[in-house]
Amino acid sequence: DVKVTQSSRYLVKRTGEKVFLECVQDMDHENMFWYRQDPGLGLRLIYFSYDVKMKEKGDIPEGYSVSREKKERFSLILESASTNQTSMYLCASSPPMTGQGEQYFGPGTRLTVT
């Protein structure tokens, strides 16, 4: 079974702090994604990566950056956390398009910025 793990389930940070969210997948997937999920807004794509060191912006990249130095690891960075970044953050990975394109999600990190 595919396993996607995230470094923390719950995180509380102060405004202005630099925040790192880590995601690791164990299925050698090329594609990895970071989403945030807010009530009524659904899942919104922040960034995705289709290969090591390759990244593209999603729908809401402002205030975030990412890093993918190894295939299995995709990190989301909040350079200077703000209260409007309080949210549930979900990481996902998917195999190449030769598969069904299904995405495998981690358990999520609930981030609170105070």
Q: Contact positions toward another protein, by CB under 8 A?
A: 4, 31, 33, 35, 40-43, 45, 48, 50, 58, 90, 92, 94, 96-97, 100-108, 110
Q: Which is nearer to another protein, 4 or 81 (CB)?
A: 4
Provide the β-strand partners of residue 19. 78
Q: Which is nearer to another protein, 64 or 108 (CB)?
A: 108
Q: How far is the CB of 113 from another protein (least distance, A)?
A: 19
Q: In angstroms, rounded to a whole number, what is the distance separating the alpha carbons of residues 81 and 49?
A: 22
Q: How far is the CB of 80 from another protein (least distance, A)?
A: 26
One-letter amino acid for residue 101 of the chain: G
Q: In angstroms, rounded to a whole number, what is the distance separating the alpha carbons of residues 59 and 113?
A: 21
Residues contacting 42, CB < 8 A, separation 6+: none
Q: How far is the CB of 112 from another protein (least distance, A)?
A: 14
